[in-house]
Amino acid sequence: MLKTILRRTGQVAAIAAAGLVMSAQAAEPIKIGSFLSVTGPASFLGDPELKTLEMYVEKINEDGGVLGRPLELIHYDDVGNASNARNFASRLIRSDRVDIIVGGSTTGATMAAVPLVEQAKVPFISLAGAVVITNPVKKWVFKTPQTDRMAAERILTDMKDRGITRFGLISGTGGFGSSGRTQTLDVVEQMGMEVVADVTYSGSDTDMTAQLTNIRNTDGVEAVLNFGFGQGPAIVTRNYAQLGMELPFYQSHGVASDSFLELAGDAAEGVRLPASPLLVPDSLPDDDPQKQVVQDYKAEYEARWDSKVSTFGAYAYDGLMLAVQAIEAAGSTDKEAVREALENIQGYVGVTGVFNMSPEDHNGLEADSFRILEVQNGEWKLIN
């Protein structure tokens, strides 16, 4: 009995292997490598990213692939751990021999892989946020999300438009909040504004009334900005409403998702924040070049996975499309040619923004790609 099963399995395997060899001869696949935080604490990033990659690789292959060759996605789950990310990046380069890497959900994972890709000379498009990834420019490293610095610039510009120059800053002590705080303080000087109160809270704090009271009692505060991530900003928003504070209130792009609306409830009324147009696909003006891309991505993602689209998945969409465009422009998978093509992409209209890459700018986005939204009647409303 066992023998027959074994023999049969052997036969099936042989047939399958033969099939593989044959299709490989027909067209050698283009290998796209990826390491993402699909599970673990950063799974809210990695999960939609992987779904997006899988879905669009499939779709591109149905449409005939790239340069007449199918795409093959090779992905690993780094569980949000930087040393795993480094190992997987090494495996992608050495044993899978991928043509390009699109991945790295967190800044930690990305930075762990950077020395490897630089050394092995493989084009790498990161999906993580921090400004250090592309500043200073690294020859082989690109990224799709805007930096926290751009978010700070966008918020401060909006404040200035409303005639606000002195504001209170409250930030989380986690990586996102503290990096955002540093960038904000930096941008403030350039724009001739002033942070009059600067307080923090830790990620597990359950009440920020004391910090907000401190800001409220500072002389000359005209607005409040909260740079933070997770449930903290929602608690800050609720405490803000309870204290009856009337000053204009800004949040960062870290909470630009529907779950923030749900957690903060009525307290979120009037809050402004910079966000991806993906949150308001239908309110974009018709002449907005991104409108079509954003609507299509949202519709396709939600039809396929039956779950809400997220800004993070859009980073992966842009990463994959940039890679495809670069390979097409290069006409081959020659790594140096693809890298150069990536660096010269101009006017690619993505979900996150319009990318204009250059040898000095491996991100290619402007602060304008963030839209300023305001919460009105429990929904996101496009301001500009």
Total number of residues binding another protein (CB under 8 A)? Answer: 29
Two structure tokens written together for 124: 């790498």
Nearer to another protein, 104 or 230 (CB): 230
Interface residue with another protein, options 27, 210, 299, 383 (CB under 8 A): 210
Interface residue with another protein, options 107, 146, 200, 252 (CB under 8 A): 200
Region 24-43 residues binding another protein, contact defined as CB under 8 A: 43
User: Should residue 61 be labelled a site residue for another protein when binding is judged by CB under 8 A?
Assistant: no
User: Should residue 332 be labelled a site residue for another protein when binding is judged by CB under 8 A?
Assistant: no
User: Should residue 173 be labelled a site residue for another protein when binding is judged by CB under 8 A?
Assistant: yes
- Backbone angles phi and psi of 127, in degrees to 5: -110, 20
User: Should residue 218 be labelled a site residue for another protein when binding is judged by CB under 8 A?
Assistant: no
Nearer to another protein, 200 or 333 (CB): 200
User: Should residue 182 be labelled a site residue for another protein when binding is judged by CB under 8 A?
Assistant: no
Which span (61-69, 140-148, 200-208, 281-289) binds another protein, by CB under 8 A? 200-208
User: Should residue 202 be labelled a site residue for another protein when binding is judged by CB under 8 A?
Assistant: yes
| β-pair type (354-355, 371-376) | unpaired
The least CB distance from residue 275 to another protein, in Å, is: 19
User: Should residue 219 be labelled a site residue for another protein when binding is judged by CB under 8 A?
Assistant: no
CA nearest to 337, candidates 323, 357, 350: 323
User: Should residue 87 be labelled a site residue for another protein when binding is judged by CB under 8 A?
Assistant: no
| β-pair type (348-349, 272-275) | unpaired
User: Should residue 211 be labelled a site residue for another protein when binding is judged by CB under 8 A?
Assistant: yes
Which span (211-219, 282-290, 325-333, 361-369) binds another protein, by CB under 8 A? 211-219
Q: Is 17 left (phi over 0), alpha (psi -120 to 50) or beta?
A: alpha
Interface residue with another protein, options 165, 209, 325, 356 (CB under 8 A): 209
Nearer to another protein, 234 or 278 (CB): 234
The least CB distance from residue 201 to another protein, in Å, is: 6
User: Should residue 309 be labelled a site residue for another protein when binding is judged by CB under 8 A?
Assistant: no
Total residue length of the chain: 384
Taking the C-alpha atoms of residue 5 and residue 36, their distance in angstroms, rounded to an integer, is 37
Nearer to another protein, 142 or 176 (CB): 176
Query: With the C-alpha atoms ordered 276, 278, 284, 288, is the resulting torsion angle positive or negative?
Result: positive
Nearer to another protein, 162 or 308 (CB): 308
User: Should residue 377 be labelled a site residue for another protein when binding is judged by CB under 8 A?
Assistant: no
Region 227-266 residues binding another protein, contact defined as CB under 8 A: 230-231, 234-235, 242-244, 259, 262-263, 265-266
Beta bridge partners, 126, equal 103, 143
The least CB distance from residue 118 to another protein, in Å, is: 34
The least CB distance from residue 214 to another protein, in Å, is: 6
Interface residue with another protein, options 213, 218, 325, 344 (CB under 8 A): 213
The least CB distance from residue 266 to another protein, in Å, is: 7
Taking the C-alpha atoms of residue 356 and residue 337, their distance in angstroms, rounded to an integer, is 18
Tell me which residues touch another protein (CB under 8 A).
43-44, 173, 199-202, 204-207, 209-211, 213-214, 217, 230-231, 234-235, 242-244, 259, 262-263, 265-266
